Chains A and B, each alone.
Chain A
Amino acid sequence: MDVLITQILNGLDKGSAYALIALGLTLIFGTLGVVNFAHGALFMIGAFCSVFLQRLLNLSFETIDATKTDFLGNPLKVKTPYVESWFGPEMGGAIIDWSVPLAILFAIPVMIAIGFIMERGLIKHFYKRPHADQILVTFGLAIVLQEIIKAFYGANPIQTPAPEALSGVATLAEGIVYPVWRIVYFCFSVAVIGGVFAFLQFTTFGMVVRAGMADRETVGLLGIDIDKRFTFMFGLAAAVAGLAGVMYGPINAPNYHMGMDFLVLSFVVVVVGGMGSLPGAVLAGFLLGILESFASMTQVIELIPGINQIIIYLVAIIILLVRPRGLMGRKGVME
């Protein structure tokens, strides 16, 4: 039983990442009708925002410690971050320790800017083009973004640890322990998802966008400049993906191709949830996360060997055959 509860927690946690990425994908697909293969790359760039900030905070000056030697036998150069020398080791250390949460503040404007540039510079020319062309151009963009990150940070994963206070495990109940940061990640993603929904629900801006998702032409006929809002939506979607990435760093060390690992899965999530349905994307994200966790339990694998490898795809196939519109897709929308 305890194991089952832990697996549900794991599922919710995985699902958080799926849901956040799928949410952004659906926003872009639903509002702009663009199949964005670069969305995984946005998630990756988000994660590297915290790597960048960590590196920035760790910018150091070198002092020579003659008592120790480096690997070549020369006197060891000891590095001290500027931050520590400015704010004192204690305060400076704390700032570095909290670099991942701090990166949220840094990532939001960066990701929105990247989203704006992408939309205005590239995507906007592809609204009227076939999906295949959109796939090719965004896939090309994803490769380019990946390679740029790889050129700066290499191919190996880079640790972005959680703050000391938020690492370790929490005991939730008798016999159920769970990593603190994963709980933080889940709460964070619920908050972000809630924020996006509230924004779309309670602001006029959101209303127009929702109307645009339902029927683009009519909204256009009302004389509302939907384009500007769509640009902003792209920025918002990028920011959501970026935030998902920033906070994901402490769970798994970021590397340059982490976006591609999530890309295919998040497309499956979007389709299972129902193309163009935001609640569907979130629901499907959590659902697939939980199913994936259950499928990786020994008891299940012993029953059906290899099920942990294919569960997500299997579920996707079944759902699409039984419920063609996905879990929450509306009839006639993106069918």
Chain B
Amino acid sequence: MSKTNLTRRGVLKSGAVAGAGVALPTIFTAQSAAAYTNEPTGGSVTLGFNVPQTGPYADEGADELRAYELAVEHLNGGGDGGMMNTFSSKALKGNGILGKKVEYVTGDTQTKSDAARASAKSMIEKDGAVMITGGSSSGVAIAVQGLCQEAGVIFMAGLTHSNDTTGKDKKANGFRHFFNGYMSGAALAPVLKGLYGDDRKAYHLTADYTWGWTQQESIAAATEALGWETVNNVLTPLAATDFSSYIAPVLNSGADVLVLNHYGGNMVNSLTNAVQFGLREKIVNNKDFEIVVPLFSRLMARGAGANIKNIVGSTNWHWSLQDEGSQAFVRSFGTKYGFPPSQAAHTCYVQTLLYADACERAGTFNPCGVAEALEGFEFDGMGNGKTLYRAEDHQCFKDVLVVKGKENPTSEFDLLEVVEVTPASQVTYSPDHPMFAGGQLGSCNPGA
């Protein structure tokens, strides 16, 4: 242990590093004596929170970080305990994880797979993190998941919606709580049918990268099953800022629904442009023209302002949910920070608790033990009803929310209203579904 002249309080607060000092960073060490990567041997355990702190998703990253800090506080017995009180598993006692105080380190993914991996590596190699979590895009999630598999630590994905994360790129050490493109499609389709009928012509604008494609594929399949026709699918460059040249052809295409498979800044701009071109006032084929944004995020919706009113989409979670777990989380988050949490914050908070709980139940931090405890784990009280962490692909199956932009928001946070809670059974698919085929989970890697 280090001998420095820090005060007692200093030592406690710098515990993250102090913890790492005891748990020597033996990662990737061929001659390691430890049973697994970064086995915590002192009084604390270090988690790595890898979120976008710069770049376009920095606000989501900041919200994720708030959720992580809250989760750590709760795990260590601080605050009001949040969801720990409503969680169906009672293994967590508020004394850290397995009696070890929870410390954390943070890093910046920059929403680039390279930078995200570098940041995650430094947490594993330098700070001795035993679990990595966070991120706000699928490319980063898949890249970091791959790294964690190689390094022998657990990866608890943050916000990642691509089918591939638990599809062709699934990994034994990686777990996703967030929902995916297929689930969005499955949840949205019946609602869309109810709202807009089964005779619709859809025009898709799709962000030209992996996430966009998988989501477009999912939504098109789900809506076509209802009887909708997909008129066109146009791929838009990720770097596009002005979507006018993609929106204009929609006007004369004969389509009566526009599906925007965009996220983040792309979504804000394409939606704004679509509204600018008067699509919402248009009447085509004697029907009101409609716009659908399959993946909604409240933080992003704020950027789109009044344009999101009445626009339907799906989301993983929303703070207005009335179940016990959600309310508990919103209360502790809102009390601490003064505003309600986003879906990204929710998923990150839950992932941290789920990880801690799995360690407690497994009695070890060994990734293989933790993975075993998470696989097939069923729980409740975390906001989305009864949830299953499926063993075959490490995907959570839970209720999915279909939401729409609120007509008369009462506050700057009150932008979405829940239209329907689609039950988990309706969004469940078989592990060998063609949209998820191609990859192998592999076997868990403890790293040593």
Q: Which of B244-252, B359-367, B387-395 contacts A (4 or more CB under 8 A)?
A: B244-252
A159 touches B304 (CB 8 A): yes
When distances are taken between beta carbons in the complex, the residues of chain B under 8 Å from A309 are: 208, 237, 239
Residue of A nearest to B411 (CB): A70
The main secondary structure of chain B at its interface with chain A is helix
B56 touches A155 (CB 8 A): yes
When distances are taken between beta carbons in the complex, the residues of chain A under 8 Å from B191 are: none
B272 within 8 A of A: yes
Q: Complex: how many Å from CA A219 to CA B206?
A: 54
Q: Mark B51-67, 1 if CB is under 8 A from A, else 0.
A: 00001111100000000
When distances are taken between beta carbons in the complex, the residues of chain A under 8 Å from B410 are: 68, 70, 76
When the two chains form the complex, which single residue of B234, B236, B244 contacts A14, counting CB atoms closer than 8 Å?
B244
When distances are taken between beta carbons in the complex, the residues of chain B under 8 Å from A251 are: 242, 272-273, 276
When distances are taken between beta carbons in the complex, the residues of chain B under 8 Å from A257 are: 55-56
Q: Complex: how many Å from CA A289 to CA B319?
A: 42
A161 touches B245 (CB 8 A): no
Q: Mark A238-257, 1 if CB is under 8 A from B, else 0.
A: 00000000000001110101
A252 touches B300 (CB 8 A): no
A64 within 8 A of B: no
Q: Complex: how many Å from CA A3 to CA B254?
A: 13
When the two chains form the complex, which single residue of A11, A76, A155, A261 contacts B411, counting CB atoms closer than 8 Å?
A76
B413 within 8 A of A: yes
B303 within 8 A of A: yes
When the two chains form the complex, which single residue of B245, B272, B414 contacts A296, counting CB atoms closer than 8 Å?
B245
With A3-B252, A159-B305 as given contacts, are A253 and B272 in contact (CB-CB < 8 Å)? yes
Our count of residue pairs bridging A and B at CB distance below 8 angstroms stands at 130
When the two chains form the complex, which single residue of B208, B281, B303, B413 contacts A159, counting CB atoms closer than 8 Å?
B303
- Min CB distance A114 to B, Å, is 23
A333 within 8 A of B: no
A175 touches B234 (CB 8 A): no
A182 within 8 A of B: yes
When distances are taken between beta carbons in the complex, the residues of chain A under 8 Å from B57 are: 155
When the two chains form the complex, which single residue of A157, A168, A179 contacts B268, counting CB atoms closer than 8 Å?
A157
B241 touches A72 (CB 8 A): no
Q: Complex: how many Å from CA A156 to CA B83?
A: 28
Q: Mark B218-239, 1 if CB is under 8 A from A, else 0.
A: 0000000000000010111101
B340 within 8 A of A: yes
Q: Mark A285-317, 1 if CB is under 8 A from B, else 0.
A: 000000011101110010000001100000000
With A71-B413, A301-B234 as given contacts, are A253 and B249 in contact (CB-CB < 8 Å)? no
A206-262 contacts to B, CB under 8 A, are: 251-253, 255, 257-258, 261-262
B78 within 8 A of A: no
B114-152 contacts to A, CB under 8 A, are: none
In this complex, how many residues of chain B approach chain A with their Cβ under 8 Å: the count is 50
- Min CB distance A260 to B, Å, is 10
- Min CB distance B311 to A, Å, is 14
When the two chains form the complex, which single residue of B59, B208, B281, B411 contacts A156, counting CB atoms closer than 8 Å?
B59
When distances are taken between beta carbons in the complex, the residues of chain B under 8 Å from A10 are: 242, 244-245, 248
B245 touches A297 (CB 8 A): yes
Residue of A nearest to B238 (CB): A309
Residue of B nearest to A68 (CB): B410
B99 within 8 A of A: no
B304 touches A179 (CB 8 A): no
Q: Complex: how many Å from CA A72 to CA B252?
A: 46
B235 touches A179 (CB 8 A): no
A177 within 8 A of B: yes
- Min CB distance B277 to A, Å, is 6
A64-87 contacts to B, CB under 8 A, are: 68, 70-72, 76
- Min CB distance A161 to B, Å, is 6
Q: Complex: how many Å from CA A297 to CA B246?
A: 7
A147-178 contacts to B, CB under 8 A, are: 150, 154-159, 161, 167-169, 175, 177-178
B320 touches A71 (CB 8 A): yes
With A156-B302, A158-B303, A182-B276 as given contacts, are A301 and B235 in contact (CB-CB < 8 Å)? yes
6 A-B contact pairs sorted by A residue (CB < 8 Å): A6-B248, A7-B245, A10-B244, A13-B244, A157-B269, A296-B234
Give me the 3 closest cross-chain CB pairs, A-B, nearest first: A159-B305, A155-B58, A157-B303
